[in-house]
Structure 1
Amino acid sequence: MIPVAAGLGVVMMAGTVWATTSVAQNVFVGAQPEEVMPASSMAFVKLDLKPDGSQLTDYARFVNRLPASLRDEVDPEADPAKEVVDAYIEEAELDGVTYEQDFEPWLGGRFGAAVWNAGDAGSGESGEALAVAIEAEDETAAEETLEKIRSQVDTEPAIDVDGGFAVITEDSAALDHLDSQVASGGTLAENEVYTADMDAIGADNVASAWMDLERIAALGGGDSEAATYDGYGQPGPLESLEDYEEVRGRMAVGLRIRPEYLELRGDAFDLGVDGVSLADYDVPEPGLPVMADLPDDTKAAFGGTGISDFAAQAYEDDPDEFADLEGMMSELGLTMPDGIGSLLGDSTAVGITDLGGSLDQFFNGTSSMPSLQYRAEGADSGAVEDVVERMWEGSYNSPPGVTSEGSTTIATSGTTGTGRLGDDPVFEKTMADTGSAHLGVYLDLRPVAESTDEDAPDQWGAVGASVGYTQEAISLQARWAPDGG
């Protein structure tokens, strides 16, 4: 009896945990669109306009940091779905359909769309099928509205309202195939590869996307509709994939709102093209301190570490791909691949400190040389100086001055500040994770806003992005950090 009692106790405990978790998911989190999409999906996008309490607090604090000119346009009481639905009703010329009467009573805040290969079962010319999931808080009302719309449109979409979502496909064949895929292979929410990839980019995303590049690339050729943007035959984002014989890997992207910034996070996993991947290269140590050492008045900056090492490895693998660069280096008196290392060193950064000339050229059609500073840790100062002299030979402008600061070679043109960019709170907030990055880009929006006669240019803050990689994955982080609060 003891083993039986113990077994019953475990079962009851497990049942209690399951029930508690299930209730918590339904009450505090709710159904997710990936729960009604097939595990065989090759691409999935999701929009979540149903934040929890902590997210709402973050959103409110971020709105308060927006520039005043943007903050005045934000209506905290507005329904984000109404404008979209009203536009659709007008475009589709629907009679007797309004947002307030037909959508507001049931429309939830979560939306998703998935693409999978349905073979001959789908309507796509190459077998791709598409399904859209719309959260339905009242399934009966949702079904009535969608049936009302279907009676007025020229196409014959298939609709299934169940599990808290209205699932819409192009036709009944695609819906039947979706059901069979879920029955045989489960849902996307049960796909361990998908869940692991999404966990890597973090939760609390307002919008997110995931794709299997290998399977998507297979749709890029032939007569696939996936290779075009629309029915007009315009080139689509997959058309370039036709140039490669083999593409593999997956990508996950998420957009989230934090109290002080808007952040885009994206990861690429197991990425490879025509048999070449990061696993074939020695990955340098991350970190962009040389970028933080740029002058404190830097308006735009780019930094990279290990670029010369990657270039050298790639050159040894396939020198023919570097023919143009090799010719350019020869004109500068350098040879590949050592010449790249002589100029770039181990870590490199370029900062523009005076955007006046560049902005005048953009807005007023005038031009002048910008002030800038180039820093290269471990570069050959003699080689840098020689290249500068060659490039400015015959120019009416004075060439940049080349100096050394320890092991760092510095080339400066025009007037630059004497402090460090890394000490600027705006830069620090925008580029918080440069310690784990291999590439970085930074743009101070304050001078840009000033050039457009913005009333409060200091409130626009800055945007920045950093990329880090290992032999298994590439990670992107981009932020906009306004300062209007």
Structure 2
Amino acid sequence: MSVNNPPSGQDPDRTTAYNWNQGQQPENPPTMPMSSGGPYPPQQPYGQQAQGGYGQQPPPQQPYGQQPPYGQQPQQPQQQWQQGGWQQQQPQQGWQQEQGWQQQAQYAQGGGWQQQGPDGAGPPQPPRKGPKTWIIAVAAALAVVLLGGGAVWAVGAIGGGGAQPHEVLPADSLAYARLDLDPAANQKVALFQLARKFTATKDTFSGEDPRKALFDTITQGDDSKVDFAQDVDPWLGSRIGFAAVPSGKDEPDFAVAVQVTDEELAKAGIAKLMDGDRYGIAFRDDYALLAASQELADKYAQAEGSLGDNADFNDDIAALGEQGVLSFWAHVGSIAEATKKAMTPEQAAGLQQVKDARFAGALRFDSAYVELAGVVNGAKGMTPQGDLPPANLGVLPASTAGALSISGLDQVLTKNWANIEKQATATGSADVQQMLAQIKTRYGLELPGDLATLFGKNFTFAVDSEGLSDNQFRAGARIATDPARAQAVLDKIQQAMANGGQGAPQIAKVAGDGVFTVATTDDYAKKLAETGTLADSETFKTAIADPDEANMALFVDLDKIESLYLNSMQGDEKANAQVLKAVGMSTSMTDSSATFSLRVLVN
């Protein structure tokens, strides 16, 4: 399935209410929950970007029932602001703290950002009367409200009318994140179905409005006096965007665009949410623009043009296809240039390769999986070895429990060997240098040629599900290489080990037509050497996007290996683990572009 092709069975129709049983739009669109805290994230070294969030908004609302189809793309771990840089938020962390979002950024007196809360870098502060989270926290957190340590809840897709956040944010933005809270009807159904599979979220998401559910999650255990229905819902629209903007200094400025339905109510509501914290606010095309100062907010609101006028941005989002739940974008080259002062000479020399590179991604949902997808455009020399062969996992046995396939390792080693040796010498790593010397002398290998032969044009490692329950481990590798040369290299290694008294491991080998197979047992070597039927598995077909085009792919059938870890779990942990079905990842690369997909399947 290509990046732009929608998964099967997707209904693109949008609704405004979060009740999929009624099939009609209510009078008032849903709005987004917010909370307060510091108005802006701690300012990071220029160019450090968040995974979870840059991307173009979908086009304005089309007539009901005529929305573009939902496209395929995965889920990416989100990042949240912490003092000193972006820190990645892993899926298992999610909304698990007692107070929801606990790593809140609050603007400190004296200029600077201090991490607040129990685990923050700064000292704990006395409870405040207002909410302790803020719109930036919401923008980042909404990207991945993780379900019981395994799945993701978020909402977004083309929906609602009016401008998109990228149409009001600065034209020279380095990075951008967008979230739309009026998703397609099928997305709402899928999100609630997924949420109700996990013990951590099934009660929270028992209502019809995920915005209210999220607001309650954020403010749980807080002493906030903000009432969602009274203080937030009357003015809050369905979209939010965030941008990192060049400042001319070591750290970027930031802008947040929040769609609003009433400016006066928004001013009052945001002031209550901010609870005395410092910020600037201005309005542009039905959006409240928030910045670190009133001067910056006014500048952004009055500027000519927007990120929507950026040709690279538009091209990248078009290549991405449907933006799904969350979309994000970054100009990698501009960020790299902005951080050039902090680079080593070797790193700076590589800027030419990425000076025009950009990255875009999207987080999407299906009733069967969560998916994060992305595209890279404008890079140079991504595949110096030329076109890569496919990572053909589909020919593995149907009983495969897990497999990893990588193409082009032979050329990577051959073309980069001089740099590998140079790096080992430059770093003064005696261990690496000693290892390379031993490979040549003890085993009689020619480097990098013999290693390139062993890794081949494609190297696929697989583990079979049969035998796992009684610890009869069956694993092996299929290598697209010259079988005779690969056999000779392995023979040299085994002979050298035997001569050294180490005891050579017994490896089963099967030489085929352009394929060399090795395994832990003779039976599995023969099985792995044959053309298998994993491609016919519904689990595999759902987990791996574009299996025929991927140059690298990973597949793990969790249902086949869960007996290895479920017995050590209890209660909710075990129940949530049983929901997870499989994981699939695929990447396809050319010299200047790449696409990737990561899917987590649920039962």
Could you say whether these structures have the same fold, taking a TM-score greater than 0.5 normalized by the shorter chain as the test? Answer: yes
- The aligned residue for residue 520 of structure 2 is 413
Instruction: Please say which of residues 59-68 and 251-260 is displaced more in the overlay.
Output: 59-68
Matched, 1:97 2:220: no
Q: Which has the larger radius of gyration?
A: 1
The whole-number CA distance in structure 2 between the counterparts of 1:90 and 1:60 is: 25
Which of 550, 553, 556 is 1:440 aligned to? 553
Contact 2:460-2:478 within 8 A present in 1 as well? yes
Q: Which structure has the highest helix share of the two? A: 1
Residue equivalent to 2:95: none
Question: Partner of 1:389 in structure 2?
Answer: 494
- % identical equivalent positions: 22
State which of 304, 311, 329 in structure 2 corresponds to 1:210.
329
- Once the two structures are superposed, residues 338-378 of structure 1 have per-residue CA deviations (whole angstroms, 9 ceiling, x without a partner) of 11331022221001225987x99xxxxxxx78421111022
Conservation of the 8 A alpha-carbon contact between 1:107 and 1:135 = yes
Q: Distance in 2 between matches of 1:176 and 1:443?
A: 51
TM-score, structure 2 normalization: 0.61
Listed as ranges, the matches of 1:135-214 within 5 Å are 135-150=259-274, 152-153=275-276, 155-179=277-301, 182-183=303-304, 186-214=305-333
Q: Which amino acid aligns with 1:383?
A: A
Contact 1:210 1:251 in 2 (8 A): yes
Partners of 1:459 and 1:265 in 2: CA distance: 22
Distance apart, 1:474 and its partner CA = 1.9
Given that 2:545 and 2:586 are in contact with CA atoms closer than 8 Å, whether structure 1 keeps it comes out as: no
Corresponding position of 1:377 = 480
* Distance (Å, rounded) in 1 between the aligned partners of 2:541 and 2:555: 11
Q: CA deviation at 1:463?
A: 0.9
Q: Amino acid of the residue matched to residue 182 of structure 2?
A: K
Cα–Cα, structure 1 residues 388 and 173, in superposed 2: closer, same or farther, change >3 Å?
farther
Distance change >3 Å, CA 459–CA 84, structure 1 → 2 = closer
Partner residue in 1 for 2:406: 304
- Counterparts in 2 of 1:299 and 1:332: CA distance versus 1, 3 Å: farther
SS at match of 2:400: coil
Q: CA deviation at 1:68?
A: 4.4
Shift, 1:390, TM fit: 6.0
TM-score (norm 1): 0.75
Match runs of 1:237-386 below 5 Å: 244-245=347-348, 246=351, 247-248=354-355, 249-271=357-379, 277-278=381-382, 281-289=384-392, 291-315=393-417, 319-321=421-423, 324=432, 326-327=436-437, 329-330=439-440, 331-354=442-465, 370-379=473-482, 380-383=485-488, 385-386=490-491
1:452 pairs with 2:579: no
Query: CA shift at 1:317, angstroms?
Result: 6.6
Q: Which residue of 2 aligns with 1:427?
A: 540
* Residues paired across the two proteins, number: 419
The RMSD of aligned alpha carbons is 3.7
Match of 1:228 in 2: none
Give the 3 Å change call, closer, same or farther, for CA 395–108 of structure 1 in structure 2. farther
Where 1:351 maps in the other structure, the secondary structure is strand
Matched, 1:107 2:214: no
1:302: Cα distance to partner? 0.8
Offset at 1:111?
A: 1.5
The amino acid that maps onto 1:256 is R
Partner Cα separation in structure 2 for residue 77 and residue 190 of structure 1: 39
| C-alpha distance in structure 1 between counterparts of 2:330 and 2:593, whole Å | 14
Whole-angstrom CA distance in 2 between matches of 1:39 and 1:355:
56
Q: Which moved more, 1:321-330 or 1:458-467?
A: 321-330
2: distance between equivalents of 1:240 and 1:84?
40
Query: How many Å apart are 1:259 and its aligned residue?
Result: 4.2
Unmatched 5+ residue regions in structure 2? Answer: 1-58, 64-157, 426-431, 568-573
Worse-superposed segment, 300-309 or 422-431:
422-431
**8 Å contact from structure 1 (residues 385, 402) kept in 2:** no
- Amino acid of the residue matched to residue 436 of structure 1? E
The alpha-carbon distance between structure 1 residues 178 and 294, as it changes in their structure 2 partners (threshold 3 A), is same
How far off is 1:262 after superposition?
2.1
CA deviation vs aligned residue, 1:238-275 (integer Å, no higher than 9, x gap)? x7889721252211111112344322111222235xxx
For residues 409-461 of structure 1, give each alpha carbon's deviation from its aligned partner in whole angstroms, at most 9, with x where no partner exists: 11111574675433322112212412211111112221454422546977532
1:158 Cα offset (Å): 0.4
CA distance in 1, matches of 2:226, 2:579: 42
Deviation for aligned residue 1:316: 5.6
Q: Deviations over 1:15-59 (max 9, x none)?
A: xxxxxx9884898544211111011000101122211xxx32245
Answer whether contact 2:509 2:516 (CA < 8 A) is retained.
yes
Q: Could you say what secondary structure the match of 1:435 adopts? A: coil
Structure 1 Cα separation of the partners of residues 286 and 177 of structure 2 = 18
* Cα distance per residue 1:74-121 (max 9 Å; x no partner): 725354334554566689965x422221012222232111011133xx
Closer, same or farther: CA 270–405 of 1 in aligned 2, 3 Å: same
For the residue of structure 2 that corresponds to 1:300, the secondary structure is strand
CA gap of 1:241–1:270, structure 2 versus 1, over 3 A, is: farther
Give the conservation status (yes or no) of the 8 Å contact 2:401–2:561.
no
Give the counterpart of 2:254 among 119, 130, 144. Answer: 130
Cα distance in 2 between the residues matched to 1:77 and 1:392:
65
Structure 1 residues 356 and 84: CA distance shift in structure 2, 3 A: farther
Which residue identity lines up with residue 379 of structure 2 in the other structure? L
Structure 1 residues 382 and 23: CA distance shift in structure 2, 3 A = closer
Q: How far does residue 168 in structure 1 lie from its aligned partner after superposition?
A: 0.9
Q: How does 1:392-403 map to 2 (within 5 A)?
A: 398-403=505-510
Match of 1:480 in 2: 600
SS of alignment partner, residue 295 of structure 1? coil
- Structure 1 unaligned blocks of 5 or more: 1-20, 120-124, 223-238, 361-367
Structure 1 residues 430 and 127: CA distance shift in structure 2, 3 A: closer
Partner of 2:586: 466
Higher alpha-carbon deviation: 371-380 or 412-421: 412-421
Change (3 A) 1:441 1:352: same
Deviations 1:178-211 (A, max 9, x none): 245x32xx11112111111111111142111111
Report Cα offsets for 1:281-327 as digits up to 9, x if no partner.
142244122x3233322222110122212321223677524774844
Amino acid paired to 1:382: Q
